[in-house]
């Protein structure tokens, strides 16, 4: 492993899972021994070449990595500024970046002798990836999904069921992603002996934020190498959407120590940041709090009750964000912006028409900011969009919003 310089922004978290004041291990005592065992198992796996070889083999032959870094020529022409590349995570098996993390965790679960996998899912992409990996390895799979999300992401529910997973609609609370995570935690605290909790984003108690980030860093590492091959230099900027923030941290992290690379995270502004409880932009509209095992920025009321948040995208309407993003906001290394439902819908359509790529609504948020910022950059500015997922799952929701149904 390479030794990082002492001033590196890539050193976090500390041994207790803190990125500055963020992160930590805020879980019930029942889960604490499990989390410590997971940390130990992950540290051992990280040092084991056989683990990396098995994961690398799956990423190549099962997922189809490396994903292409594609020059979006017509988008570039249309916007008339920066040269735009798409890092095409949507071409991965299962159609999103989620599988990178899931395979890492499932191999770890196997090493730990766990036979039962649980997961939470919002848009269903993490649920599908988990169901896929469980089918591939013959593991029992239970996916918790808010009842509201079950309704609006029907195709992914069918996919999970086809793959042999049990999808449990969660009726508690707001019946969306945060409630699915609560229910998964309740399952884990009950089934401690045989169960592995496969968290879908770079959040939760330590070691999840660091572990999920490490698994997703392949996005940024490939981007770096591919851009060097294509253009002979690093990109000048990278954009990614943020719900929990796993695709963004995976794209950004390998560039954190490259000050020339501008990094932009794009949150979901829903109906608008000014609309009370009408968005899911935890960094822009929230403040530090403690939920789901970590301290991070959260959307909440003055009494510390968590708000539901809103986004057209079921993958972004989580009222929190990974703790490393909270830290990167505070130290200023990453610039956090937001895009509304409408801006995301416009970007979604533009991408489909200009590039023949139907993006998921999640990365359409990041594209929306590129549409604004790219024209202001010079033609030699190399700009990367983390195209984290494909939009098949969203076509019905989009059609409904456009009045086409």
Partner 1 sequence: MITGKAMTSRIETRFAQCRAQQRAALVTFIMAGDPDAAISLDILKALPKSGADLIEVGMPFSDPMADGPAIQAAGLRAMHAGMTLNGVLRQVGEFRRHDADTPIVLMGYYNPIYVHGVEKFLIEAKAAGVDGLIVVDLPPEEDEELCLPALRAGLNFIRLATPTTDDNRLPAVLANTSGFVYYVSVTGVTGASRPDYSKVATAVRRIKAHTPLPVAVGFGVKDAAAAAEIALNADAVVVGSAIIDALARTLDSDKRGGPATVAAVSKLVTELAAGVASARR
Binding part of the chain for partner 1, among 105-113, 212-220, 293-301, 380-388 by CB under 8 A, reads: 293-301
User: What are the DSSP E strand ranges found in 22-139?
Assistant: 22-26, 69-71, 83-88, 116-121
φ, ψ for residue 293 (rounded to 5)? 90, -5
Q: Please report whether residue 190 would count as binding partner 1 according to CB under 8 A.
A: yes
Binding part of the chain for partner 1, among 43-51, 94-102, 283-291, 355-363 by CB under 8 A, reads: 283-291
Q: Which of 33, 34, 40 is nearest to 15 (CA)?
A: 40
Q: Residue 61 or 287: which CB sits closer to partner 1?
A: 287
Q: Are 140 and 116 in contact (CB under 8 A)?
A: yes
Q: List the one residue from 64, 80, 272, 304 that touches partner 1 (CB under 8 A).
A: 304
Q: Please report whether residue 210 would count as binding partner 1 according to CB under 8 A.
A: no
**Is cis: bond before 246, omega within 30 of 0?**
no
98 is catalytic: yes
Q: Please report whether residue 115 would count as binding partner 1 according to CB under 8 A.
A: no
**In the complex, least distance from residue 192 CB atom to partner 1, rounded to whole angstroms:** 5
Say how many residues touch partner 1, by CB under 8 A: 38
Q: Please report whether residue 28 would count as binding partner 1 according to CB under 8 A.
A: yes
Q: Please report whether residue 274 would count as binding partner 1 according to CB under 8 A.
A: no
Residues facing 266 on adjacent strands: 241, 337
**In the complex, least distance from residue 285 CB atom to partner 1, rounded to whole angstroms:** 15
Q: Please report whether residue 292 would count as binding partner 1 according to CB under 8 A.
A: yes
**In the complex, least distance from residue 294 CB atom to partner 1, rounded to whole angstroms:** 10
Cα separation, 367 vs 372, whole angstroms: 9
Binding part of the chain for partner 1, among 56-64, 79-87, 287-295, 369-377 by CB under 8 A, reads: 287-295
Binding part of the chain for partner 1, among 56-64, 170-178, 222-230, 384-392 by CB under 8 A, reads: 170-178
Q: List the one residue from 259, 302, 356, 379 that touches partner 1 (CB under 8 A).
A: 302
Q: List the one residue from 182, 223, 247, 313 that touches partner 1 (CB under 8 A).
A: 182
Q: Please report whether residue 199 would count as binding partner 1 according to CB under 8 A.
A: no
User: What are the DSSP E strand ranges found in 38-103?
Assistant: 69-71, 83-88
Compute CA 134 distance to the chain's CA centroid, rounded to the nearest angstrom.
20
Using CB atoms within 10 A of its CB, is residue 227 exposed (0-12), middle (13-18) or buried (19+)?
A: buried
Q: Please report whether residue 172 would count as binding partner 1 according to CB under 8 A.
A: yes
Residue 316 burial (CB count, 10 A)? 32
Q: Residue 238 or 300: which CB sits closer to partner 1?
A: 300
388 is catalytic: yes
* DSSP collapsed to 3 states, 170-215: ECCCCCCHHHHHHHHHHHHHHCCCCEEECCCCCCCCCCHHHHHHHH
Please, what sign has the CA dihedral across residues 374, 375, 377, 382? positive
3-class SS of residue 374? helix
Catalytic site residue from 67, 311, 338, 388: 388
Question: Max alpha carbon distance in the chain (Å)?
Answer: 57
Cα separation, 40 vs 108, whole angstroms: 11
Catalytic site residue from 120, 222, 262, 267: 120
Q: Please report whether residue 276 would count as binding partner 1 according to CB under 8 A.
A: no
Q: Which residues contact 226 (CB under 8 A, 6 or more apart)?
A: 66, 68, 69
Catalytic site residue from 98, 114, 178, 329: 98
172 is catalytic: no
Structure tokens at 98: 């989620």
Q: Which residues contact 159 (CB under 8 A, 6 or more apart)?
A: 124, 128, 131
**In the complex, least distance from residue 179 CB atom to partner 1, rounded to whole angstroms:** 8
**In the complex, least distance from residue 117 CB atom to partner 1, rounded to whole angstroms:** 18
Q: Residue 24 or 389: which CB sits closer to partner 1?
A: 24
Q: List the one residue from 108, 143, 291, 326 that touches partner 1 (CB under 8 A).
A: 291
Binding residues for partner 1, rule: CB under 8 A, are: 16, 24-34, 172-173, 178-179, 181-182, 185-186, 189-192, 287, 289-293, 295, 298, 300, 302-306
Active site positions, annotated: 98, 120, 388
């Amino acid at each position: 492993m390479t030794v990082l310089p002492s001033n590196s922004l890539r050193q976090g978290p500390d041994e207790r899972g803190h990125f500055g004041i963020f992160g930590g291990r805020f879980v019930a005592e029942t889960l604490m021994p499990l989390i410590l065992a997971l940390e130990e198992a992950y540290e051992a796996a990280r040092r084991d070449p056989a683990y990396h070889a098995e994961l690398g083999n799956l990423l190549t032959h099962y997922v189809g990595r490396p994903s292409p870094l594609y020059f979006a020529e017509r988008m570039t022409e249309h916007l008339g500024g920066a040269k735009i590349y798409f890092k095409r995570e949507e071409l991965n098996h299962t159609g999103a970046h989620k599988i990178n993390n899931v395979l890492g965790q499932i191999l770890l679960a196997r090493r730990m002798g766990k036979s039962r996998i649980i997961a939470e899912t919002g848009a269903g992409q993490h649920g599908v990836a988990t169901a896929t990996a469980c089918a591939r390895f013959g593991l029992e799979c239970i996916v918790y999904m808010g009842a509201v999300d079950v309704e609006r992401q029907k195709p992914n529910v069918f996919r999970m069921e086809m793959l042999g997973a049990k999808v449990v609609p969660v009726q508690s609370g707001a019946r969306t992603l945060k409630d699915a995570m609560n229910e998964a935690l309740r399952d884990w605290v009950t089934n401690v002996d045989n169960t592995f909790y496969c968290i879908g984003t770079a959040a939760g108690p330590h070691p999840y934020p660091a572990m999920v980030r490490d698994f997703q860093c392949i996005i940024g590492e490939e981007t770096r190498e591919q851009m060097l091959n294509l253009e002979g230099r690093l990109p000048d900027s990278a954009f990614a959407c943020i719900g929990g923030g796993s695709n963004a941290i995976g794209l950004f992290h390998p560039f954190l120590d490259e000050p020339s690379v501008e990094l932009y995270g794009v949150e979901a502004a829903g109906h608008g940041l000014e609309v009370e409880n009408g968005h899911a932009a935890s960094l822009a509209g929230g403040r530090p709090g403690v939920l789901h095992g970590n301290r991070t920025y959260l959307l909440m009321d003055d009494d510390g009750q968590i708000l539901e948040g809103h986004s057209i995208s079921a993958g972004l309407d989580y009222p929190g964000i990974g703790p490393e993003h909270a830290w990167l906001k505070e130290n200023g290394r990453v610039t956090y912006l937001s895009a509304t439902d409408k801006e995301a819908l416009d970007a979604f359509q533009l991408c489909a028409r200009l590039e023949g790529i139907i993006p998921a609504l999640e990365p359409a948020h990041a594209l929306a900011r590129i549409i604004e910022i790219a024209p202001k950059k010079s033609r030699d500015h190399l700009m990367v969009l983390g195209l984290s997922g494909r939009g098949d799952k969203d076509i019905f929701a989009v059609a409904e919003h456009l009045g086409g149904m």
